[in-house]
Structure 1
């Protein structure tokens, strides 16, 4: 089994999402010790933002890609191939300005390739990357899940659920630590809740994958 571990926080060792994503990987390997883990730190090894050269080679407008287009395409192919090869994807996703870090968005933009992670049909788009388990560690300074107003402002969990669903992935799970900036007590409760969710989520997901493999 292959697990792709991704972090995107710019805060290094001070990052809660990094802490939790590492704990998710540890919990997963406790039940699947033979899992091969590949790590990608998007804050360190950041893909360039998706631009005209990255898109150009995909449109087929030019018979011969330019050197810049080829470089961008090689990067996109490296990232999408790495993603498609993983059985399990664990992502640390902090909450920046009501959404995800631009580094994480740049990575996702490289994955969204027609013919690789989705295709268009007469009945609409169909995801091609199904069969994976995605577990996302979310960190938030405030609390957004407990009210209709907060949920309307939140474009972190909602976006990730939509985009991975678009890729055909139905097993997408979230571990939330929110209210982290609302005082020491709130932070402690948020971390305790997230850690309990990690144990429950990884156990359930691991058992589900084991059942699929056995079948």
Structure 2
């Protein structure tokens, strides 16, 4: 069964551009894959626990040696990683916050970048474990920071997510951005058209 993972990071429950776009993508994908499964993961706010010294220690403790408390600490991370492995395609809804990803998206990234699970260190350097999957980054920003604009160098949202996805082995990555939503009323609809063409 084909599986799509949608990760929404916008803190806005209502009126979020990225949430509206990822929902439209999921609807079209489901229509094209009626037997497929859509996993929806909301990582906004405090939905994902931030890393702590104790959690990092639990990550590096062999599974059969973890205490009950350590197993509790890694439970959410294990669930998030399992969702990635279950998915054939991943869509990240990531509005730009202060030139980068939101706090919720960063917390999710910290929980899914796991040595021994989503990547391993080799003599040739880090090697991701999630190859063969496709990802779509659905971004939005108040100003226009898209490639070729004078402010493009300030866009650390799209480039950071591409780097993270590549690090865990996902090289087939598309970016669809609703750029400059504060000044261009048509940017969301233009992004929707580009996005649905990928579904």
TM-score normalised according to structure 2 size: 0.91
**Where do 1:156-195 residues align within 5 Å?**
156-182=157-183, 186-187=184-185, 189-195=186-192
Query: Deviating runs (4+, > 4 A) in structure 1?
Result: none
Query: Which residue in 2 is equivalent to 1:9?
Result: 10
Comparing 8-17 and 39-48, the one that deviates more: 39-48
Q: Is the partner of 2:14 in helix, strand or coil? A: helix
Q: Deviations over 1:43-66 (max 9, x none)?
A: 2671111111111022239x9545
Give the deviation of 1:141 after TM superposition: 0.4
**Where do 1:135-154 residues align within 5 Å?**
135-147=136-148, 149-154=150-155
Between the aligned partners of 1:24 and 1:65, the Cα distance in structure 2 is: 40
Q: Is the 8 A contact 2:45 2:103 kept in 1?
A: no
Which structure is higher in helix share? 1
TM-score normalised according to structure 1 size: 0.85
Between the aligned partners of 2:117 and 2:66, the Cα distance in structure 1 is: 19
Between the aligned partners of 1:194 and 1:70, the Cα distance in structure 2 is: 41
Between the aligned partners of 2:133 and 2:121, the Cα distance in structure 1 is: 20
Between the aligned partners of 1:48 and 1:31, the Cα distance in structure 2 is: 34
Query: Which residue in 1 is equivalent to 2:101?
Result: 100
Structure 1: gaps spanning 5 or more residues: 203-215
Comparing 65-74 and 30-39, the one that deviates more: 65-74
Aligned-pair Cα RMSD in Å: 2.0
Query: Which residue in 1 is equivalent to 2:194?
Result: 197
Give the deviation of 1:149 after TM superposition: 4.3
Query: Which residue in 2 is equivalent to 1:209?
Result: none
Between the aligned partners of 1:38 and 1:45, the Cα distance in structure 2 is: 19
Query: Which residue in 2 is equivalent to 1:212?
Result: none
